[in-house]
């Protein structure tokens, strides 16, 4: 029988919770019932990537108790999987409010459960956490971050021994263990000051940067253009720990700081949202680039896995490129250089993209006769293909439309440091032949066709909003559109049916038209919204994209 939210809230008045928490819950019970319901109508879901939610008291919030209970579930799973073997977990955290606090709670619970913990001495990015799991030979890794979400959020990402976010069977098994923890009294919170994690820092930093340095392809070009002006911003996050030193290691000597955004601050005071996909987040860096005369603007989000890129167009104006455009440049550049260096002749190399990422990548890979895998949204699915092919084939790189890319196998997630390095050296490589990144993109359009992509997100908050999002998906399944922006729908792909797609089950719909138009519909796994991805091709792509956005607004 489903518990009433009020009864659940009252259970948080028990001695299992600290005095401050009990006081806040009592005030909520006597106050706004809508707010009380939103905080207690469900337990913050420990999904296949971990936790993510607004920070505050309540079962549907990120707090010491939901984090502790999730960690106890993970600890129980590790103990059941490796009952007689030593167990270790590496732990990192970003600059968000309470990230260090949640990291300390997490470390304490693991230690109290007899699990060795390696913990960074300060903030570090998600990709470095991914790298350090295998570098330190750990069973798992945990990253405290809510990625690019607004400041009210925090999260908890779980990675497995291969450095990738958890997938089957471990994801469902961990979720089952977490769901068994229903009260803080079941959690072994650390009350022993002698139990402390092993502190890590500079040694792993060096190993990480040394490793991704080997993936660069045009360091001679970097030497010739070492003074190229590059503006970079970490958007108050962890990128300051890896991107600055990596660009310096590559030989770039004129990297310009957005000093206000070098400050690690979980309130993200200079941006509305620390998402480098959004023009508002890039505004300060682009304005600085105009003042300094820089041609390249790079950025990363708070946990430094995804990137932002602005370049000068043919009018000399800075323009922000989309994740699909960035991916097109990276795939074309890497394949061009791998071909020139003779690296495509060995190891049966391949690349990967997600199903909602531009089809231009399919055409680029076809040119070089390199297989391109299509996977479900989420970098863990890219990492799965890498793991399945490890030791058999050579992985060049993979990316997704949401500004995430990763070359090589040192990291099993998106990596802003390696990606910023590749983009900067690509700019230097193109400068050798009197070309720009923007000009290179226009050449790709001329060769492969004009591809245009877009994204519309519809937010629906609270319990009613979650139900409405599910109803939207249900309606599209029962009554799929027959036309999209005047184009006939010729195929409907429902990813709930693995036997038809060849991929894992996922709540995604895709509509394909006779002119190549593709619309994908997918509820977000981390935010209260439903996403509509649009892909069109041809001379009238801009007009058709506008029509699609109007149709799905």
Q: Are 233 and 404 in contact (CB under 8 A)?
A: no
The secondary structure of residue 43, as a DSSP letter, is P
Q: Mean pLDDT throughout 389-394?
A: 97
List Cα–Cα distances, 198 to 85, 88, 115, in angstroms.
19, 10, 11
Confidence of residue 49 (pLDDT cuts 50, 70, 90): confident
| DSSP structure string for 476-495 | HHHS--SEETTEEEEEEEET
Q: Helix axis angle, 416-431 relative to 243-250, nearest 10°?
A: 40
Higher per-residue confidence, 299 vs 525? 299
Token representation of residue 527 = 């935010």
User: Could you report the per-residue pLDDT of 427-473, keeping only the tens digit for each?
Assistant: 999 999 999 999 999 999 999 999 999 999 998 888 788 889 999 99
Alpha helices in 302-354 (DSSP H): 323-340
The set of long-range contacts for 165-172, using a CB threshold of 8 Å and a minimum separation of 24, is 165/48, 165/49, 165/50, 165/378, 165/379, 165/380, 165/383, 165/412, 165/413, 166/48, 166/49, 166/50, 166/380, 167/48, 167/380, 167/381, 167/383, 167/384, 168/504, 170/77, 171/48, 172/48
State what percent of residues in the chain have pLDDT above 70: 99
Confidence of residue 229 (pLDDT cuts 50, 70, 90): very high
Given a cut of 70, whether residue 420 has pLDDT beyond it is yes
Given a cut of 80, whether residue 527 has pLDDT beyond it is no
Please state whether the predicted TM-score (pTM) of the whole model is above 0.75.
yes
CATH classification of 42-200, choosing from 3.40.30.10, 3.40.120.10, 3.40.50.280, 1.10.8.10? 3.40.120.10
- The neighbouring-strand residues paired with 532 are 456, 521
| DSSP structure string for 432-501 | TTT--HHHHHHHHHHHH--EEEEEEEEE--HHHHHHHHHHHHHHHHHS--SEETTEEEEEEEETT-HHHH
Q: Helix axis angle, 360-367 relative to 437-448, nearest 10°?
A: 80
Q: Are 172 and 330 in contact (CB under 8 A)?
A: no
Higher per-residue confidence, 155 vs 3? 155
The whole-number pLDDT of residue 138 equals: 98
Q: Mean pLDDT throughout 376-399?
A: 96
Quick count: other Cβ atoms within 10 Å of Cβ 81? 14
The whole-number pLDDT of residue 397 equals: 98
The whole-number pLDDT of residue 1 equals: 36
Given a cut of 70, whether residue 193 has pLDDT beyond it is yes
Closest residue by Cα to residue 110 from 156, 167, 173: 156
Residue 299 to residue 280: CA distance in whole angstroms: 12
Given a cut of 90, whether residue 367 has pLDDT beyond it is yes
Q: Are 128 and 80 in contact (CB under 8 A)?
A: no
The whole-number pLDDT of residue 356 equals: 95
Residue 245 to residue 513: CA distance in whole angstroms: 46
The whole-number pLDDT of residue 59 equals: 94
User: Could you report the per-residue pLDDT of 303-342, keeping only the tens digit for each?
Assistant: 999 999 999 999 999 999 999 999 999 999 999 999 999 9
Topology match between the domains 42-200 and 207-448: yes
Beta-strand runs (E) in 347-431: 350-354, 371-375, 395-400, 404-407
Residue 187 to residue 361: CA distance in whole angstroms: 47
| DSSP structure string for 106-140 | HHHHHHHTT-EEEEESS---HHHHHHHHHHTT-SE
169 by Cβ neighbours in 10 Å (0-12 / 13-18 / 19+) ranks as exposed
The whole-number pLDDT of residue 463 equals: 78
> Domain 452-551, what fold?
TATA-Binding Protein (3.30.310)
Domain locations along the chain: 1-31, 42-200, 207-448, 452-551
Alpha helices in 51-169 (DSSP H): 64-81, 99-112, 126-135
The strand order across the sheet containing 371-375 reads: 371-375, 350-354, 395-400, 404-407
Closest residue by Cα to residue 380 from 168, 173, 171, 166: 166
User: Could you report the per-residue pLDDT of 149-173, keeping only the tens digit for each?
Assistant: 899 999 999 999 999 999 989 998 9
Q: Mean pLDDT throughout 360-371?
A: 98
**Active site residues per annotation:** 147
State what percent of residues in the chain have pLDDT above 90: 91
User: Could you report the per-residue pLDDT of 51-107, keeping only the tens digit for each?
Assistant: 999 999 999 999 999 999 999 999 999 999 999 999 999 999 999 999 999 999 999
Confidence of residue 47 (pLDDT cuts 50, 70, 90): confident
Cβ within 8 Å of residue 94, ≥6 positions away: 123, 125, 126, 143, 144, 145, 237, 238, 302, 303, 304
- CA 43 from centroid of its chain's CA atoms: 23
Q: Mean pLDDT throughout 208-231?
A: 98
Lowest mean pLDDT: which of 172-186, 383-397, 455-469, 498-512?
Answer: 455-469
Residue 323 to residue 379: CA distance in whole angstroms: 14
Q: Mean pLDDT throughout 188-200?
A: 96
Residues in the chain: 553
Q: Are 523 and 469 in contact (CB under 8 A)?
A: yes
Residue 519 to residue 479: CA distance in whole angstroms: 15
The whole-number pLDDT of residue 398 equals: 98
Residue 275 to residue 282: CA distance in whole angstroms: 8
Q: Helix axis angle, 99-112 relative to 64-81, nearest 10°?
A: 40
User: Could you report the per-residue pLDDT of 266-282, keeping only the tens digit for each?
Assistant: 999 999 999 999 999 99
Quick count: other Cβ atoms within 10 Å of Cβ 273? 16
Q: Mean pLDDT throughout 477-495?
A: 94
> Domain 207-448, what fold?
Alpha-D-Glucose-1,6-Bisphosphate; Chain A, domain 3 (3.40.120)
């Amino acid at each position: 029988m489903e518990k009433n939210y009020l009864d659940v809230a009252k259970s948080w008045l028990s001695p299992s919770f600290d005095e401050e928490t009990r006081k806040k819950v009592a005030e909520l019970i006597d106050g706004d019932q809508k707010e009380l319901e939103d905080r207690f109508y469900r337990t913050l879901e420990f999904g296949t990537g971990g936790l993510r939610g607004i920070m505050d008291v309540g079962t549907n919030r990120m707090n010491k108790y939901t984090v502790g209970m999730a960690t106890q579930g993970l600890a129980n799973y590790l103990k059941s999987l490796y009952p007689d073997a030593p167990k270790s977990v590496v732990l990192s955290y970003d600059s968000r409010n309470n990230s260090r606090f949640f990291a300390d709670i997490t470390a304490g619970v693991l230690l109290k459960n007899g699990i060795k913990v390696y913990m960074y001495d300060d903030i570090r990015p998600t990709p470095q956490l991914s790298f350090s799991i295998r570098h330190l030979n750990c069973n798992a890794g945990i990253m405290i971050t809510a990625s690019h979400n607004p400041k009210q959020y925090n999260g908890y990402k779980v990675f497995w021994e291969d450095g990738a976010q958890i997938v089957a069977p471990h994801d469902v098994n961990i979720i089952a263990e977490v769901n068994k923890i229903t009260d803080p009294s079941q959690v072994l919170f650390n009350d022993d000051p002698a139990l402390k994690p092993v502190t890590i820092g500079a040694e792993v930093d060096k190993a990480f940067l040394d490793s991704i340095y080997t993936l660069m392809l045009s360091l001679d070009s970097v030497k010739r253009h070492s003074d190229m002006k590059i503006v970079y911003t970490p958007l108050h996050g962890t990128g300051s720990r890896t991107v600055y030193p990596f660009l310096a290691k590559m030989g770039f000597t004129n990297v310009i700081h957005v000093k206000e955004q070098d400050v690690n601050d979980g309130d993200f005071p200079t941006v509305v949202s620390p998402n480098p996909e959004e023009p508002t987040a890039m505004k300060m860096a682009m304005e600085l680039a105009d003042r300094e005369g820089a041609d390249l603007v790079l950025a990363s989000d708070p946990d430094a896995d995804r990137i932002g890129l602005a370049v000068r167009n043919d009018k000399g104006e800075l323009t922000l490129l989309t994740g699909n455009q960035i991916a097109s440049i990276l795939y074309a550049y890497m394949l061009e250089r791998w071909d020139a260096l003779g690296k495509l002749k060995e190891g049966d190399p391949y690349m990967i993209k997600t199903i909602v990422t531009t089809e231009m990548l399919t055409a680029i890979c076809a040119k070089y006769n390199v297989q391109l895998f299509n996977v479900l949204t989420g970098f863990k699915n890219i990492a799965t293909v890498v793991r399945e092919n490890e030791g058999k084939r050579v992985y060049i790189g993979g990316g997704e439309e949401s500004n995430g890319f990763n070359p090589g196998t040192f990291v099993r997630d998106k990596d802003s440091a390696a990606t910023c390095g590749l983009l900067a050296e690509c700019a230097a490589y193109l400068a050798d032949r009197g070309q720009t990144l923007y000009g290179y993109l226009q050449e790709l359009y001329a060769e492969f066709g004009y591809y245009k992509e877009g994204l519309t997100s519809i937010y629906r908050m609270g319990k009613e909003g979650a139900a409405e999002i599910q109803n939207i998906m249900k309606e599209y399944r029962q009554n799929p559109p027959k036309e999209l922006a005047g184009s006939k729908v010729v195929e409907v792909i429902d990813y709930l049916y693995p036997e038809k797609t060849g991929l894992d089950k996922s709540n995604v719909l895709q509509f394909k038209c006779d002119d190549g138009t593709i619309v994908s519909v997918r509820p977000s796994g981390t935010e209260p919204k439903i996403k509509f991805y649009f892909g069109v091709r041809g001379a009238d792509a801009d007009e058709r994209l506008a029509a699609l956005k109007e149709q799905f607004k």
